[in-house]
């Protein structure tokens, strides 16, 4: 999974192609819980590029997108928001895959 490097990069990526942004933080236990399953999810849904957004480095991006709980996901296709799975709750592989399937 690629890491977001700049706020400008966020805008470029969300407007060009199919991306799923994972909002997370190093200290977040529920985020670490899903770490082992993310490579499998990325491989299964290879039509999307997955981008990790560090909540602590990009708090302004989180606030602008109403992401106040992590881990959370927002999917875009060429600038159009396809869906969001935003909450502070722990997520299972099945829940994440159901979200992606619903896009």
Catalytic annotation present for 62: no
Catalytic-residue membership of 31: yes
In the set 28, 38, 41, 62, the catalytic residue is 28
Could you please report the per-residue DSSP string of the chain? -EEP--HHHHHHHHTSSEEEEEEE-TT-HHHHHHGGGHHHHHHHTTTSEEEEEETTT-HHHHHHTT--SSSEEEEEETTEEEEEE--SS---HHHHHHHHHT-
Q: Which is catalytic among the residues 31, 51, 70, 74?
A: 31
Residue positions annotated with a catalytic role: 28, 31
């Amino acid at each position: 999974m690629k890491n977001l490097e700049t706020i400008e990069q966020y805008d470029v990526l969300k407007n060009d192609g199919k991306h799923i942004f994972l909002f997370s933080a190093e200290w977040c236990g529920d985020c670490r819980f899903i770490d082992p399953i993310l490579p499998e999810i990325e491989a299964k849904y290879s039509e999307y590029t997955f981008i990790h957004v560090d909540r602590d480095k990009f708090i302004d991006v989180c606030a602008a997108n109403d992401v106040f709980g992590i881990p959370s996901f927002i999917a875009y296709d060429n600038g159009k928001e396809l869906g969001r799975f935003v909450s502070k709750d722990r997520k299972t592989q099945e829940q994440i895959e159901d979200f992606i399937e619903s896009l």
